[in-house]
Amino acid sequence: MSRRSLFQLQISWLPSRIIRWVLGVAILILLLWRIINVTVVNAKYGADTWLRFAISGLVLGGLYALIAIGYTLVYGILFMINFAHGDVMMIGAFGGYFAFEALGAIKIPNAMDPKLTFLNAYPILSVILAFLVGMGIASLTGYYLEKIAYRPLRNAPRLVPLISAIGASIVLENAAQLLFGPQRRDNANPILLARGTGWEIPISGNTVILTYTGVLTFALSVLLMLGLYMIVQRTKFGKAMRAVAQDKKTAALMGIDVDDVISKTFLISGALAGAAGVMWGIHTGLVYFFVGFLPGIKAFTAAVLGGIGNIPGAMVGGLFLGLVESIGPAALGINFQLKDVIAFTILILVLIFRPSGILGQVLTEEKL
């Protein structure tokens, strides 16, 4: 029963809805006034700074979008928040890190450079291998996560799998901490992809560096998203997935193996999160046990922002959130420590004013 069909209840909601919209418009005007004040009137930053913010925002947004797709896929099918998804990304980051370490330890005998390692001799192959390892491990983690922690709870009330997911997230984080230690590790990129190097763009008297890692990250995330979109829209498996998302029982009657589809969905979303993790390692260089938590929460925010259960929505939401998070503090003229506050505030505002997200359809009560 959708909420909109209850006519009488609509009336009692009316005043609060008006208040809500008035409030929303007021907040919007205030924000706009503040942004204009900071950016145009005070003009604290030049064009180069804005470009730098925009680039880092897009890269971050690509990562958020990849992780957000995982949330959206799982939510679309099981109507549960895979709280441990950020930690799956962390596992992927560790996979990439160890792959780089292993490849960096292999010596290639060479007359020119006795210290040449596999990593620097074949950088492209190394990066591909690292991605394969990271994505593989992460997707296996996702697969077993579903099998162990979620499958026995398929028909339980909705809080039950969520709590189980929170438990799984704690397990993954602390297992990683106990195994690999609490310290932050520096991801060893091949020299070709050294962090901070890149093309230099001259703009308004300054140069902005478009880093190779950033370009790789953004390009790869767009590619992966396109690939996923093709899988969902064009293949038989994608069709099965959409069918299961719409109605599990009917899909099962049509001969679709629902359990298998769910398992594969977790494999795919795990692989995407793993790719995001490896990219996180390559781009930011930071790999440690808690690395998945904040990106995970923010990617969920992005998924909600775009309309949860909606794949293009997750992409748009991720890019939007990345941009806002990186430009926002400067545009609002507030401390950069508060960028996490911006993301969460957006989440709260979206859920107050448009719970169905930017691109989402109005969800029926069962799915909401």
Partner 1 sequence: MKSTNLRYALRAGFTFAILIIFLILIAFDVTASSMIDKAMGIDMAKTGAKTPTITSLIFFLSLIGLWNGGNAGRGQERLGIKVLAGLVAGLICGLLVGVFSFGLGTLNARGIDIRVYLSALSPDSVNFLNYGRGPLVGAFLHVVLLTVSGVAGGLLTWALGQKGWRRALSSRLDNAWSAESRSSFNNRISRSPIFRYVGIVLLLTILAILPRQWGSYWNYVFGIVGIYIILGLGLNIIVGLSGQLVLGFVAFFAIGAYSFALLTAPEPHHLQWNFWVALVVAVILSALTGILLGLPLLRLRGDYLAIVTLGFGEIIRTLLRSDLMIPLTAGPRGVRDIAGPTIFGHPFNTDVDYMYLIILAVLLTIFITQRLQYARVGRAWVSIREDETVARATGVDTFKYKLIALALGAAFAGIGGVLFASKNQFTGPEDHVLMVSINVLCIIVVGGMGSIPGVILGAFTLKGLPEILRDLELYRLLAFGALLVVMMILRPSGLWPVGRPHLETEITNNPPDNSSTQQKGEPV
Write the interaction track for partner 1 spanning residues 62-101; mark x where CB under 8 A is met and - where it is not.
Answer: ------------------xx----------------x--x
Give the integer Cα–Cα distance in Å for 362 and 347.
17
| 4 binding partner 1? (CB under 8 A) | no
- CA proximity to 273, closest of 174, 135, 80, 73: 135
Using DSSP bridges, classify how beta strands 185-186 and 286-287 pair: parallel, antiparallel or unpaired.
Answer: antiparallel
Classify the C-alpha dihedral 340-343-344-345 as positive or negative: positive
Cα 94 to chain center, whole Å? 17
Tell me whether residue 38 or residue 334 sits nearer to partner 1 (CB atom). Answer: 334
Tell me whether residue 199 or residue 344 sits nearer to partner 1 (CB atom). Answer: 344
Which amino acid belongs to residue 141? Answer: T
Task: Give residues 176-235 in contact with partner 1 (rule: CB under 8 A).
Answer: 178-183
Would you mind telling me the total number of residues written for the chain in this entry? 368
What are the CA-CA distances from residue 5 to residues 8, 288, 356, 360 (Å)? 9, 49, 17, 19
CA 179-276-220 angle, 5° bins:
145
Tell me whether residue 86 or residue 285 sits nearer to partner 1 (CB atom). Answer: 86
End-to-end CA distance of the chain: 11
The window from 221-229, 240-248, 268-276, 348-356 that contacts partner 1 (CB under 8 A) reads 348-356
| 14 binding partner 1? (CB under 8 A) | no
| 160 binding partner 1? (CB under 8 A) | yes
> Total number of residues binding partner 1 (CB under 8 A)?
57
Q: Measured from the CB of residue 22, what is the shortest distance to partner 1 in angstroms?
A: 13
Task: Give residues 304-343 in contact with partner 1 (rule: CB under 8 A).
Answer: 304, 334-335, 337-338, 340-341, 343
Specify the DSSP element, H or E, that contains 322: helix 311-332
- CA proximity to 262, closest of 84, 109, 73, 42: 73
Residue for token pair 């806002």: 324
| 175 binding partner 1? (CB under 8 A) | yes
Tell me whether residue 182 or residue 227 sits nearer to partner 1 (CB atom). Answer: 182
Q: Measured from the CB of residue 257, what is the shortest distance to partner 1 in angstroms?
A: 18
Q: Give the one residue of 124, 128, 163, 230 binding partner 1; rule: CB under 8 A.
A: 163
| 21 binding partner 1? (CB under 8 A) | no
Q: State the residues that interact with partner 1 by CB under 8 A.
A: 1, 9, 20, 80-81, 98, 101, 148-149, 152-153, 155-164, 166-175, 178-183, 297, 300-301, 304, 334-335, 337-338, 340-341, 343-345, 347-348, 351-352, 355, 365, 368
